[in-house]
A and B are shown apart, each in its own frame.
Chain A
Amino acid sequence: MNFEDLQKSWQGQPVNVITDTSKLKSSLQTRWEKYQSKLFKQKVYGSILLLVTLVGIGWVYLAFHELFRWPFTVSIAAMYALILVYIFVSWKSYAFKKENLESSSAGYISYQLDKLKWQRKTVTLYTWIYLVLLWLSLVMYISEVAAKGTVFFQCMAVLVVTTYILGVHLWYRYKKQKKVLSEIDEMTADLQQIRQELTD
């Protein structure tokens, strides 16, 4: 047995696929339109939501900042920072939506590895930043709004917010994050192995 015989046999195998592109086009066109519409909706709805939030928070600050002390300003600043972090993460994630399929396999795999690295960073580091900023903005806001209450009331309000955020974080960390990270790590290991075997 030699390789040339195998190759001949391989190339002679029946290929039962649709080649009539008019039949293919309608299904591909529908899929393409769905894909485009999903991207468009994500971009438009996301932008509108951010704009409304920024305007809303800005209005709250301008309307009430004279009534409250510095924690109120810190709270508003933390919310703005939160939104800026969200915009940064969203746009960077959006940039990674490009598949880069036209590159060589080694280049494509490197790009996918960068994408996975970014996803991991989003899940780990940026979730932390997001939570700390959210905690800061809520605690500052509550402590300012509840400034006229007793010390016990203020402490309880801060404790409730802290417990809630910590609870959500722990649930996310042990229920969801663990699974997501394990999937990312598994895919990273597979891709690294393929790249190494391809380029070695």
Chain B
Amino acid sequence: MLAKQEILFNELVKAHHASIYRICRAYLYDVSHADDLYQEILFQVWKSLQNFKGESKVGTWIYRIAVNTAISFNLKNKKQQFESLPDFIQVPYEETLQQKQEQETQLDQLRYCISQLETPDRLVISLVLEDKSYKEIAEITGTNINNVGVKINRIKARLVKLMENRKGI
């Protein structure tokens, strides 16, 4: 791979690794599968860099690869899907323990509720959670921009409702 592409790859990983990882976590509840998906996305980005012609924004390009790899990954690993126990919680300092645990519990509930959404809705909400605009989400997913807003509001409302129901348990 050319040095220029290596530099671009380094920059992309540095700028987008957290977002890509969170998309993986939104798409796959199980942390080990999410880690595998993250590795797969990086490989696909590395592979696709040679064909990158700059026709779309780098951000849109990388999110398209991430989302499309997630779709394929999910299809290939369909039989291995299962719901795992919450992630291992690192024990923080005693004074912040309760607060950290509360945050982790809420996050895990959120991950669980996202996992209850339909596959396309999980993809869309993962982009919404990353603060992507309607236009960007429409470009990434290929959805008509006029429908994106309606769809997002519906998914948001469903997610909030799922979280409220979960809290009530």
- Using a CB–CB cutoff of 8 Å, the interface residues on chain A facing chain B are 1-3, 6-7, 9-13, 15, 17, 19, 21, 24-25, 28-29, 31-32, 35, 99-109, 112, 187, 190-191, 193-194, 197-200
Interchain residue pairs with CB less than 8 A apart (22): A3-B159, A3-B160, A7-B129, A10-B129, A17-B35, A17-B38, A19-B17, A24-B42, A29-B1, A32-B1, A32-B46, A101-B48, A102-B51, A102-B56, A104-B140, A104-B141, A105-B71, A106-B141, A112-B72, A187-B75, A190-B75, A194-B119
| B75 proximity list for chain A (CB < 8 A) | 187, 190-191
Closest CB in chain A relative to B123 CB, distance in Å = 7
What CA separation (Å) do A78 and B160 show in the bound complex?
65
| A108 proximity list for chain B (CB < 8 A) | 64, 68, 71, 142
B160 touches A103 (CB 8 A): no
Does chain A have a CB within 8 A of B133?
Answer: no
Interface of B is mostly: helix
B129 touches A11 (CB 8 A): yes
A13 touches B71 (CB 8 A): no
What CA separation (Å) do A112 and B74 show in the bound complex?
14
B160 touches A1 (CB 8 A): yes
Closest CB in chain B relative to A24 CB, distance in Å = 6
What CA separation (Å) do A24 and B129 show in the bound complex?
26
Task: Report which of B44, B48, B61, B142 forms a contact with A199, defined as CB distance below 8 A.
Answer: B142
| B107 proximity list for chain A (CB < 8 A) | 9-10, 13
What CA separation (Å) do A1 and B113 show in the bound complex?
14
A103 touches B64 (CB 8 A): yes
A15 touches B65 (CB 8 A): no
Interface positions of B from 36 to 67, Cβ below 8 Å from A: 38, 42-44, 46-48, 51-52, 56, 61, 64-65, 67
Closest CB in chain A relative to B150 CB, distance in Å = 10
Task: Give the size range of B's interface with the partner.
Answer: 35 or more
| A12 proximity list for chain B (CB < 8 A) | 103
What CA separation (Å) do A109 and B69 show in the bound complex?
11
B65 touches A101 (CB 8 A): yes
What CA separation (Å) do A114 and B118 show in the bound complex?
23
Closest CB in chain B relative to A142 CB, distance in Å = 44
| A102 proximity list for chain B (CB < 8 A) | 48, 51-52, 56, 61, 64-65
What CA separation (Å) do A196 and B113 show in the bound complex?
22
What CA separation (Å) do A190 and B107 show in the bound complex?
28
What CA separation (Å) do A199 and B141 show in the bound complex?
8
A105 touches B67 (CB 8 A): yes
Does chain A have a CB within 8 A of B13?
Answer: yes
Closest CB in chain A relative to B109 CB, distance in Å = 10
Does chain A have a CB within 8 A of B147?
Answer: yes
A104 touches B38 (CB 8 A): no
| A193 proximity list for chain B (CB < 8 A) | 119
What CA separation (Å) do A103 and B38 show in the bound complex?
19
| A200 proximity list for chain B (CB < 8 A) | 147
Nearest B residue (CB) for A100: B68
